[in-house]
Amino acid sequence: KAGVTQTPRYLIKTRGQQVTLSCSPISGHRSVSWYQQTPGQGLQFLFEYFSETQRNKGNFPGRFSGRQFSNSRSEMNVSTLELGDSALYLCASSLGRTSGFNNEQFFGPGTRLTVL
Amino acid sequence: AQSVAQPEDQVNVAEGNPLTVKCTYSVSGNPYLFWYVQYPNRGLQFLLKYITGDNLVKGSYGFEAEFKKSQTSFHLKKPSALVSDSALYFCAVRDRSGNTGKLIFGQGTTLQVKP
């Protein structure tokens, strides 16, 4: 079974631009979460989607947004990029059963975003 | 507030020796606990989880973790370390504050296994 895929793997942008990152979950998984990883702040939760609905959102400015499509694929968008947005953005998928949250999340390789 | 702490930034161990990577948690109610490993330029790989039941959980690559409620700890262990175990290890707890699968991560511990 194919794992979580993220595209692109690497991205270089300049301040003020916007960027869209894509995530394809494991087949059959309906829940997708996004995390930002930086050396200073560690792993921070961005958002979580289940069946095209945002179920939870982390403490990030409105420049960060996301969505999920009917095939469970997800995108996140960052507008008006700042230097501090440079990070590894990780996508994770899980079965997302509403009966419980004991299902582990499977992570993709991440998208390395560099803002110049 | 729910949180996870990994008190050691780095753990050094010689190959063949046992290793322990420490994790303590603070949550309301029963915790769902996870360990992940990250190799350079890679995403996180799931190692093991504790949901309920046996306090000693066995996972991938020979790793295990012991849940101790009285100490609010979930330390990761391996009887005999390998050089290839050198990586960044994260402990995480499921956010129990709502209908969510959100994970709250510790700051990570770098494990260095020397030959």
CA distance A47 to chain B (A): 8
CA distance A99 to chain B (A): 10
CB contact under 8 A, B51 and A102: yes
CB contact under 8 A, A33 and B103: yes
Given pLDDT bands bounded at 50, 70 and 90, which one contains residue A102? low
Distance between CA atoms of B44 and B58, rounded to whole angstroms? 18
pLDDT digits (tens, 9 = 90+) for B20-77: 999 999 988 888 999 999 998 888 999 999 988 889 999 999 999 999 999 999 999 9
Q: Average pLDDT of A72-98?
A: 92
Q: Which residues contact B53 (CB under 8 A, 6 or more apart)?
A: none
Distance between CA atoms of A43 and A30, rounded to whole angstroms? 22
CA distance A35 to chain B (A): 9
DSSP string, chain B: --EEE---SEEEEETTS-EEE--EEE-SSS--EEEEEE-TT--EEEEEEE-SS-SEEE-GGG-EEEEETTTTEEEEEESS--GGG-EEEEEEEE--SSS---EEE---EEEEEE-
Distance between CA atoms of B78 and B14, rounded to whole angstroms? 12
CB contact under 8 A, A104 and B98: no
Q: Give chain A positions within 8 Å (CB) of B43.
A: 4, 90, 107-110
Residue of A nearest to B33 (CA): A102
Sign of CA dihedral B70, B64, A42, A106: negative
Name the burial class of residue A84, with classes exposed (0-12), middle (13-18) and buried (19+) by CB atoms within 10 angstroms of its CB: exposed
Contact B66, B54 (CB under 8 A): no
Give the pair of three-digit tokens for residue A23: 């995530």
Q: Quick check: A25 contacting B, CB < 8 Å? A: no
What does the pLDDT read at residue A99?
46
Testing the interface with A: which of B44, B63, B96, B110 to mutate, by most A Cβ within 10 A? Answer: B44
pLDDT digits (tens, 9 = 90+) for B76-115: 999 999 999 999 999 999 887 767 788 999 999 999 999 9
Task: Give Cα B7 distance to the centre of its chain.
Answer: 12
CB contact under 8 A, A107 and B105: no
CA distance A80 to chain B (A): 26
What does the pLDDT read at residue A101?
61
